[in-house]
Amino acid sequence: MNRTAMETTGRTETLPPALGLDDLAAAAPIPATESMPADVAELLEPHSGVYVLSDDKPSLDAGSAHVRAAADVWHVDAVHGELRTTIPGLEQTELPLETAESVRAEDAGTDSHRPGWLEQQFLPRLAPFQLSPRETGSPGSRLFFEPRAAAEAERLAYPWCCVGRVVTSSSLGTWTGSGVLVGPNLLLTAGHVAPFGGSNWSMEFIPALRQGDPNPRPFGSAFVSQYRGYNRPSDVFGYDYAICRLYRPLGQALGWMGVQSWGDEDEYERRSYTSSGYPATFGGRPAVQFAIGIRDLDNDSPGKELETVEYTTGGWSGGPLWFFAGQSPMVVGVLSGAETDGFDPRRDVYAGYTAMIDLVRFGRDNWRP
């Protein structure tokens, strides 16, 4: 277990130094020390078949027939219940905005956790990925990096396996975003990735998704049963986050990242960060950017806007901005979007601060697996 930042508010202990790029490149991997238990490995098995929405135990009795003009395709009719390919969510909680006076200016955070059966890598093998101006909507082409396992047959190591794609579906439509594990059964993402106000909704988290690979879902997936967070439609804002409870506690198998905020803005600006996500232009594969500095911070009660150079594209929303505090990966914000503020250049905006920590703490305290 890897516990550096403990779950306390106003703590006095100092975090280990943040690792820079040279430190990450020089850091040796931390090897696994045990085998994954069989019951934990079951959490990572891929979903198969379909789900049935029914008040009673469904009958498996079904009829089938050829689809016209498609001789190799069969249509299967469920006799009892509604067939689904997703697990529906149960509860949405949209939080009211707090006043600026209620926001605490203090250091706060939660712990990270690496299970003993997972190797930790500080810097994975990287593959360059260049996007054209047409694909990014920017004046010039951009170079990104895709994290990969040391060998194609292997899975991404901790903590890279904690980041994944979020697929949201509801009466409002279907869209994708990114998210990160922050507890045994907790997913942190952007508030606008969640289907606030939508009915018949589902959210699926797919950690370390790699579309196009022989095994694109190496750690399976999990659906969201409930979530709570903030919603301000069609706007980039500093408290754009939601905490989600997963039906399947993937963090018990994969571990999770910690979260961190500081009362002193200088603490944000004196570190460099990594950003991870699933931009739509990558076609369902992960992207990562390193050595990101925070250029400006704007108060946006009950959160803060953490502004960096613009480099993300659609689908990255909800992806974490994070750093290594010694051996512990710590999230300081999730991507809300990009904006132009006055005469400043257009910048990416991450939502962070103590309201994010409070959401994660709520999940830890009330949604135990």
SS3 (DSSP) at 159? coil
Per-residue pLDDT, averaged over 329-350, amounts to 88
User: At residue 258, does pLDDT exceed 80?
Assistant: yes
Select from 148, 158, 229 the least CA-distant residue to 187: 229
Decide if pLDDT at 69 tops 70: no
177 CB-contact burial (10 Å; exposed 0-12 / middle 13-18 / buried 19+): buried
* Cα 358 off chain centre by: 17
Q: How many CB atoms are closer than 10 A to CB 311? A: 19
Average predicted confidence (pLDDT) for the chain: 85
Per-residue pLDDT at 171: 95
Q: Looking at the predicted structure, is the pLDDT value of residue 344 above 80?
A: no
DSSP states along 105-143: -S-EEE--B--TTS-B-SS-EEEEEEE-HHHH-SSS-EE
Q: Measure the CA–CA gap between 184 and 284, rounded to whole angstroms.
A: 24
Q: Is 298 helix (H, G, I), strand (E, B) or coil?
A: strand
Question: Quick count: other Cβ atoms within 10 Å of Cβ 179?
Answer: 31
Burial zone of 65 (CB within 10 Å; 0-12 exposed, 13-18 middle, 19+ buried)? exposed
Strands 222-229 and 91-94, sheet pairing: parallel
Please state the φ and ψ torsions of residue 22, each to the nearest 5 degrees. -65, -40
In 3D space, the residue among 295, 292, 315 whose CA is nearest the CA of residue 306 turns out to be 295
**Spacing of C-alpha 315 from chain mean position:** 11
pTM: 0.88
299 closest CA partner among 15, 96, 101, 18: 101
The CB-side HSE value for 90 (13 A sphere, CA atoms) comes to 8
Higher pLDDT, 107 or 62: 107
- Do the bridges between strand 108-110 and strand 258-261 make them parallel or antiparallel, or are there none, so unpaired? antiparallel
Ramachandran assignment for 210, one of left (phi > 0), alpha (psi -120 to 50 degrees), beta (any other): beta
pLDDT band at 12 (very low <50, low <70, confident <90, very high): very low
Q: Please tell me the predicted confidence (pLDDT) of residue 5.
A: 37
When pLDDT is cut at 50, 70 and 90, the band that residue 85 belongs to is confident
Is the bond preceding 128 in cis, omega lying within 30 degrees of 0? no
The pLDDT of residue 156 is 86
Q: For a pLDDT cut of 70, what percent of the chain falls above it?
A: 79
Does the pLDDT value for residue 342 go beyond 90?
Answer: no
Of 319 and 138, the structure prediction assigns the larger pLDDT to 319
Tens of pLDDT along 174-218? 999 999 999 999 999 999 999 999 999 999 999 999 888 888 899
pLDDT of residue 2: 43
- Identify the pLDDT of residue 231: 92
Mean pLDDT, residues 85-105: 76
- In this predicted structure, the answer to whether residue 3 has a pLDDT above a threshold of 50 is no
Express each pLDDT in 98-156 by its tens digit.
644 455 667 899 999 999 999 999 998 887 777 666 655 555 666 777 787 655 546 78
Do you find a cis peptide bond into 302, omega within 30 degrees of 0?
yes
Rounded percentage of the chain residues whose pLDDT exceeds 90: 59
d(CA 240, CA 87): 25
Residue 349, pLDDT above cutoff 90: yes
Task: Give 282's strand partners.
Answer: none
Q: How far apart are CA 52 and CA 318, in angstroms?
A: 30
- What number is the average pLDDT over the span 225-252? 94
- Which residues of 200-241 form beta strands (DSSP E)? 202-207, 222-229
Q: Give alpha helix (H) positions in the chain.
A: 21-26, 38-41, 133-136, 251-254, 265-269, 354-366
Distance from chain centroid for Cα 110: 16
Return the pLDDT at 338: 85
Q: In this predicted model, what pLDDT tens digit does every residue of 274-304 receive, in sequence order?
A: 999 998 877 788 989 999 999 999 999 889 9
Q: How confident is the model at residue 238 (pLDDT cuts 50, 70, 90)?
A: very high
* Best CA proximity match to 257, nearest among 357, 351, 355: 357
